[in-house]
Amino acid sequence: MAVRIDGKAVAAKVREEVAAEVAELKAQGVETGMAVVLVGDDPASAIYVNNKKKACSETGIYSEVHLLPTETTQEELLALIEKLNGDPKINGILVQSPLPRHLDEKLVVEHIDPKKDVDAFHAYNVGRIMIGDFTFLPCTPAGVMKLIHETGLSVEGKRCVVVGRSNIVGKPMAMLLLHENGTVTICHSKTKDLAAICREADILVAAVGMAKLITADMVKPGAVVIDVGMNRSENGKLCGDVDYEAVEPIAGYITPVPGGVGPMTIAMLLKNAVRAARLQNGL
C-alpha cells in the first residue's frame, strides 16, 4: 500500500516559512505585496482568487484584487498591468486565467514585468528555467518537486514520466526533473503505447486533465505517483488523472485529489511573492 503524500500538511509548512520570511522583511521595513487581476465572472476563477487573497492575509502579505468586467478591453487590461508594474507596493502580479476569449492571454503575460511575474509564465522567466538559472518557478511544478522531495527519495538517475505537455505544468515539470538529473520522457495525446511508457516510471507525474486516465496496469510497483489533475468523475466527485483506489496498492508513494498538489500551488505562489520582494529591495 502506497504512502500518501499529504499536500495540505506540506503546504502548511511552506506557509509557515513564508509567514516567518514576511515578518523578517517587515522588520527591515519591507512589505511584501501582490496584486491579483480577475477579468469576468468565471466561478472557479473567483474561488481561486479568494483562496489566494486569504492565503496572502494569513501569511502577512499585502494583497490587492482587481475585479474587471467581462467586456474589459485589451487596452484597459494592459493599462492596469502597466500601472501595477510601476507600483512599488506591488512585488508580484498575477492575472487569473482563463481570460475572456476576446483578450490575448499571451500578450497580457508578456506585459507583466518579469521581476513581478510570480506565475513564471513570461517568456523571459521560461527561458531562465530552461537553462537552469531561474528566479521564479511555475507554482504547480515547484509544488510537485517539493512533494517528491518530501518522500526522501532522490530524482537523480530515476526514470521520470510526465503525462501532459502544457506550458504551465508539463513542459516546466520535465525541465525541473531534468535539472535534478532525472531521465525524463514527456507523453501526450499522440504518444503510442502510453501504458508501457508509464510502467517504466520510477516517478510518474500525471498532468493531462482526464479523469482516472492512469490505471493500475500503467504503474510500476513502488513508483512515486503525483496526480496534478483536477476533474469530476461520472458521479460528480472530485478526482484526479490517476485512478487512486486502483493505483494506491501498487505505488510506493501517491498524492490524493483533493489534498495533494492543489494546496501546494498557492503555497509556492506565496514563496515567489516573497522572493520577488527580496529581489526588488536588493536583499
Which of 138, 130, 74 has the alpha carbon at shortest distance from 105?
74
pLDDT at 236 over 90: no
Dihedral, 9, 13, 18, 20 alpha carbons, nearest 10: 140
What nine digits make up the cell of 205?
Answer: 507525474
Q: What are phi and psi of 94, to 5 degrees?
A: -130, 120
Write down the pLDDT at residue 57. 97
**pLDDT digits over 110-143, tens only?**
999 999 999 999 999 999 999 999 999 999 999 9
Q: Mean pLDDT for the chain?
A: 97
What span, in angstroms and rounded, lies between the C-alpha atoms of 204 and 227?
A: 8
The arithmetic mean of pLDDT across residues 86-112, rounded, is 97
Write down the pLDDT at residue 29. 96
Confidence of residue 235 (pLDDT cuts 50, 70, 90): confident
The arithmetic mean of pLDDT across residues 74-101, rounded, is 97
Write down the pLDDT at residue 26. 98
Q: Using a pLDDT cut of 90, give the percent of the chain over it.
A: 96
Domains of the chain: 30-113 (3.40.50.10860), 139-262 (3.40.50.720)
What is the 3-state secondary structure of 54-113? HHHHHHCCEEEEEEECCCCCHHHHHHHHHHHHCCCCCCEEEECCCCCCCCCHHHHHHHCC
Q: At what angle do helices 139-150 and 7-27 cross, to 10 degrees?
A: 110
Q: Using a pLDDT cut of 70, give the percent of the chain over it.
A: 100
Q: What are phi and psi of 166, to 5 degrees?
A: -70, 155
**pLDDT digits over 9-20, tens only?**
999 999 999 999
Q: How many CB atoms lie within 10 A of CB 232?
A: 10
Write down the pLDDT at residue 44. 87
Write down the pLDDT at residue 234. 83
Quick one: CA dihedral 181, 187, 193, 196, positive or negative?
A: positive
The catalytic residues are: 52, 96, 119
User: What would the DSSP string read from start to end of 161-223?
Assistant: EEE---TTTHHHHHHHHHHTT-EEEEE-TT-SSHHHHHTT-SEEEE-S--TT-B-GGGS-TT-
* pTM of the entire predicted model: 0.95
pLDDT at 222 over 90: yes
Which amino acid makes up residue 168? Answer: I
Which of 8, 109, 108, 22 has the alpha carbon at shortest distance from 51?
8
Which tops the pLDDT comparison, 195 or 232? 195
Looking at beta carbons, which pairs linking 112-118 to residues 24 or more positions away fall under 8 Å?
Answer: 112/81, 112/85, 113/85, 115/276, 115/279, 115/280, 116/84, 116/85, 116/90, 116/91, 116/92, 116/276, 116/280, 117/92, 117/93, 118/34, 118/91, 118/92, 118/93, 118/94, 118/269, 118/272, 118/273, 118/276
Cβ atoms of 268 and 142 within 8 Å: the answer is: yes
